[in-house]
């Protein structure tokens, strides 16, 4: 189950818990949802240009971007137990890249746009990502926050 399945979109920084603005991966879930919603809007904006915009979920990959923070928060003895188990159940870097590569170069997807992929195939989407009005609202908010409107 993707962590962003239960994500809700808010336009604030969320609760501050123990000095963390996004405790319990709340920011991660929201960012994944926003990624899917932005790619949907981008696909509409680019319609007719022969440019596609899709989002991908690479899967759980044991890369340094995930493993280094894990090592920094777990006691050393616990990490030595968790690390090999985690690496056994997750993808390596090359495996984690496959869905991104698939979405970028597979010729069968030349005209596929505004979709979400996982495990090199179409993947489930959060209901909010299917709401055109919500996607437009997020796009407009993002443009405003970036000073582009």
> Which residues are tagged catalytic?
22
Reduced to 3 states (helix: H, G, I; strand: E, B; else coil), residue 147 is coil
> Which helix (H) or strand (E) element contains residue 121?
strand 121-122
Torsion over CA of 131, 126, 116 and 143, rounded to 10 degrees? 50
d(CA 64, CA 77): 19
Q: What does each C-alpha distance from 107 to 72, 102, 112, 120 come to in angstroms?
A: 42, 9, 10, 13
């Amino acid at each position: 189950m993707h962590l962003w399945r239960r994500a809700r979109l808010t336009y604030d920084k969320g609760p501050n818990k123990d000095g963390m603005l996004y405790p319990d991966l709340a920011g991660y879930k929201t960012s994944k949802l926003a990624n899917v919603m932005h790619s949907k809007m981008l696909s509409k904006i680019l319609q007719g240009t022969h440019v596609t915009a899709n989002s991908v979920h690479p899967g759980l990959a044991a890369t340094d971007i995930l493993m280094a923070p894990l090592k920094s928060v777990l006691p050393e003895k616990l990490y030595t137990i968790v690390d090999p188990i985690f690496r056994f159940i997750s993808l390596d870097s090359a495996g984690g890249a496959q869905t991104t590569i698939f979405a970028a170069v597979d010729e069968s997807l030349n005209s596929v746009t505004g979709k979400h992929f996982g495990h090199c195939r179409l993947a489930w989407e959060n209901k909010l990502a299917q709401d055109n009005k919500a996607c437009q609202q997020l796009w407009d908010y993002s443009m405003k926050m970036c000073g582009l409107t």
